Chains A and B, each alone.
Chain A
Amino acid sequence: MSLLEVKGLKVAYGGIQAVRGIDLVIEQGELVCLIGANGAGKSSALKGLIGLVQHHGEVRFTGERLNGLPTHAIVAKGMTLVPEGRGIFARLSVAENLDMGAYTRRDVGPVRLDLNRVYDLFPRLAERRAQLAGTLSGGEQQMLALGRAIMARPRLLLLDEPSMGLAPIMVQKIYQTIAEIARDGVTILLVEQNAHLALQVSQRGYVMESGSVVLTGASQALADDPMVKAAYLGE
């Protein structure tokens, strides 16, 4: 049984079809990327998976059909989305933001361990734990968003454009952390416009174009594909 099986996922806003029926399969422990140009429907696909937008098609998570469940119930089943633009709570402190990540968890001891781990990964967050999250820099906010996701101990982590708007050194730090989270055994679906980065860190990938998956395969193979090279890697 695959961790996530998606068949014919469609998302539409008003009359506009953002996702036109895509199939995805993600196995336990994989890091899979979803690449494509701006507006290809990548973010809409993630939002459809976690129930934030109306969608059609079948979504199975650990074998169970998720369709129709509200987002908070899907999150409680172990799927976490770090949304585009990070979505931190600007007027909560750093520590409170991290607490919110563990909102559905009742296992106090392990939550504390995860909190220590987040502070180890991002010492900057530990220094600023009492500060309002809105006062953090963009890079620190992305660290906080990732840290908050770690606090949820998800079985499947959906990341939407984690590199967007960040300085190169910060992008590097964020991607190191993503690789580390993956090494811990968390399954990740990574949406990224920066195809270079995404194909480097992932094992497999899907390429989306105007709402449909046009290509899929091992990340190395995709990176060598002439169409991908021309369209997304600028070679």
Chain B
Amino acid sequence: MDIFVQQLINGLVLGSIYALVALGYTMVYGILELINFAHGEVTMVGAMSALAVIGALLGAYPQAPALLVLPAGVLAAIMVCMALGYVIERVAYRPLRRAPRLAPLITAIGVSIVLQNAAMLIWGRSYISFPAILPHGSHPILGAVITDLQIVIVTLSVLIMLGLTLLVERTRLGRAMRATAQSREVAELMGVNVNTVISATFIIGSALAAIAGVMVSAYYGLGHYYMGFMLGLKAFSAAVLGGIGNLAGAMLGGLLLGVIEALGAGYIGDLTGGFLGSNYQDVFAFMVLILVLVFRPSGLLGERVAQRA
């Protein structure tokens, strides 16, 4: 089996999930210059609510077809997360809109802790496994293997990213979002209700996070109240890598980070003569983050900060 191709595929799958989460970080940062550190936890809530709904449905109707149960779980996750995103902004960030930037950042960490603990109380401390209703076919490709689930994840991610791009570039709401990102005051002078736009941004980002959360738990077959932490940090690294505030950057950064991580995990054993194993895979995301911050703080597609405003 070709390790390079295989890890490339694995990396693209992981990367497209990172990209979906990174988009949420970057959209909020673009508009509020706020790092919503609770965003990782939103993906966790998405995964856990989907698992809960899917589990309940299968409990009640063991023969229910996967094609009904899965979308129901995803839909539930999306709705829960949209509501959660709205409430987080309304309760935790809006009252601090005029406060120094450190205040909402600390609040974000607080929200994240609250969500983790709430999830632990609701769903318990143990891993919840994803019911075996997923497609499990696999196909040989260029000396490697790609599974049905991987194909679904990548295809769905690409479609969602296209949809988001169209929304932001072509619609009235998208234009209002971009205008608000450039100047809240002038957007308001155009008649834009900036608060509505900010709420919409949180809601859209949270919907993406919900889908990404379900994808992660389906991909690894698990859900856990702590799963959002690492995923959030990595997606944040991806957003910084691409240039935070930049949508295309978040997509590119997510994919790159996934690939770097997968290739790193695939080759780290060979490179270190077996001294380090693939369990060091998480190191790569943060090495990338540090390198970007040192050598290109504005990210790959980011503009220099001076060009803003």
Task: Say which residue of B176, B178, B185, B194 sits within 8 Å of A87 (CB atoms).
Answer: B185
Q: Contact at A52–B178, with CB atoms within 8 Å?
A: no
Question: What would be 23 A-B contacts, judged by CB atoms less than 8 Å apart?
Answer: A52-B188, A52-B189, A71-B188, A71-B189, A72-B188, A72-B192, A72-B193, A75-B188, A76-B191, A87-B185, A87-B186, A87-B189, A88-B186, A89-B179, A90-B182, A92-B182, A96-B178, A99-B175, A100-B176, A100-B179, A100-B187, A103-B176, A103-B190
Which residues between 181 and 222 of chain B lie within 8 Å of chain A, taking CB atoms? 182-183, 185-194
Chain B residue numbers with a CB within 8 Å of A100 are 175-176, 179, 187, 190, 192
Q: Contact at A89–B183, with CB atoms within 8 Å?
A: yes
Q: Contact at A103–B192, with CB atoms within 8 Å?
A: yes
Q: Contact at A92–B189, with CB atoms within 8 Å?
A: no
Bound state CA distance, A35 and B194, in angstroms? 31
Bound state CA distance, A59 and B252, in angstroms? 50
Q: Contact at B188–A70, with CB atoms within 8 Å?
A: yes
| Chain B interface bracket (under 10, 10 to 19, 20 to 34, 35 or more) | 10 to 19
Q: Is the interface of A mostly helix, strand, loop or mixed?
A: loop
Residue count of chain A within 8 Å CB distance of chain B: 24
Chain A residue numbers with a CB within 8 Å of B179 are 89, 92, 100
Which residues between 30 and 81 of chain A lie within 8 Å of chain B, taking CB atoms? 50, 52, 70-72, 75-76, 80-81
In the complex, the chain B residue whose C-beta lies closest to that of A74 is: B191
Binding site for A on B (CB under 8 A): 172, 175-176, 178-179, 182-183, 185-194, 309
Per-position binary interface string of chain A over residues 131-169, scored 1 when its CB falls under 8 Å from any chain B CB and 0 otherwise: 000000000000000001000100000000000000000
Q: Contact at B175–A96, with CB atoms within 8 Å?
A: yes
Indicate if A83 sits at the interface (CB-CB under 8 A): yes
Q: Contact at A91–B185, with CB atoms within 8 Å?
A: no
In the complex, the chain A residue whose C-beta lies closest to that of B185 is: A52
Indicate if A28 sits at the interface (CB-CB under 8 A): no
Chain B residue numbers with a CB within 8 Å of A75 are 188-191
* B195 CB to nearest A CB, Å: 8
Per-position binary interface string of chain A over residues 178-192, scored 1 when its CB falls under 8 Å from any chain B CB and 0 otherwise: 000000000000000
Indicate if A101 sits at the interface (CB-CB under 8 A): yes
Task: Say which residue of B178, B191, B192 sits within 8 Å of A92 (CB atoms).
Answer: B178
Chain A residue numbers with a CB within 8 Å of B183 are 87, 89
Chain A residue numbers with a CB within 8 Å of B182 are 89-92
Task: Say which residue of A71, A91, A148, A152 sits within 8 Å of B178 (CB atoms).
Answer: A91
Bound state CA distance, A103 and B194, in angstroms? 13
Q: Contact at B186–A89, with CB atoms within 8 Å?
A: yes
Q: Contact at B189–A83, with CB atoms within 8 Å?
A: yes
Bound state CA distance, A80 and B176, in angstroms? 17
* B203 CB to nearest A CB, Å: 19
Bound state CA distance, A28 and B175, in angstroms? 33
In the complex, the chain B residue whose C-beta lies closest to that of A81 is: B189
Chain A residue numbers with a CB within 8 Å of B185 are 52, 83, 87
Bound state CA distance, A96 and B190, in angstroms? 12
* B274 CB to nearest A CB, Å: 50
In the A-B complex, list the 5 residue pairs whose CB atoms are closest, starting with the nearest: A104-B191, A75-B191, A87-B186, A71-B188, A100-B190
Bound state CA distance, A72 and B191, in angstroms? 4
Most buried by A among B175, B178, B186: B186
